[in-house]
Amino acid sequence: KLEHQRSNTGTLILTEGDSAKALAVAGMSVVGRDLFGVFPLKGKLLNVRDASMRTLAKNAEIQNIVNALGLDFKEKYETAESRKKLRYGHVMIMADQDFDGSHIKGLVLNMFHSMWPSLMKLNFIHAMITPIVKVTKGKKVHSFFNLTDYHEWIEKTSDYKTWKTKYYKGLGTSNTSEAKEYFKDMKMNHFLWSDLTNESMNLAFNKKQ
């Protein structure tokens, strides 16, 4: 079921499965639902780079995203007027912080880069960053968003073994209270267009490379 408000100033949250969707819904209680919608992805998106229009038309997941956003395969969205037809002004990806989550983010980016690059150039897509590890000791709390920072903290903290450590295997590991923290802080990765974008996306998703 797609939960949304029809507003091209809002943000559609694409989540990695239903557990992440439940997390997003819990977090939305902090920011309100007027400008946020949520849609759960079922597995990994099709690599659309070399797909035919017939294949795209038959792919339920692609069609669901297209319908949710009000996208048109024939439109390039190079003008403000054309973008007014969209049901949302941004896409936010909520995926696990592991390699599978990164792959899902990449496949979403690949879809827009292949079919609607003009939207990517406008910072249309971003992703929420959630902790991989959280350590607590009394009222002290430290969240780490990559393992490198966590291991550096261990090296600098002589009593690290006295801290309580929580590893997040996925978004489903987070509880409702943590979901609200994520939406309150809204830590984001913004995918900004650069001179290397075309080359990077082609290298990652062109099967001939």
Contacts of 64 (CB under 8 A, 6+ apart): 2, 39
Task: Extract the tokens encoding 138.
Answer: 């009394």
> Which sequence positions are flagged as catalytic?
16, 96, 98, 100
CA 154, distance to chain mean position in Å, is: 29
C-alpha pair distances (Å), 56 with each of 20, 53, 103, 124: 25, 5, 19, 21
Task: Extract the tokens encoding 129.
Answer: 């960053």
Residue 135 per-residue DSSP state: E
C-alpha pair distances (Å), 63 with each of 48, 102, 113, 142: 12, 22, 17, 40
Contacts of 173 (CB under 8 A, 6+ apart): 166, 167
Is residue 30 within 8 Å of residue 180, measured between CB atoms?
A: yes
* CA nearest neighbour of 180 among 13, 26, 15: 26
How many beta carbons lie within 10 A of that of residue 180, not counting itself? 17
How many beta carbons lie within 10 A of that of residue 133, not counting itself? 20
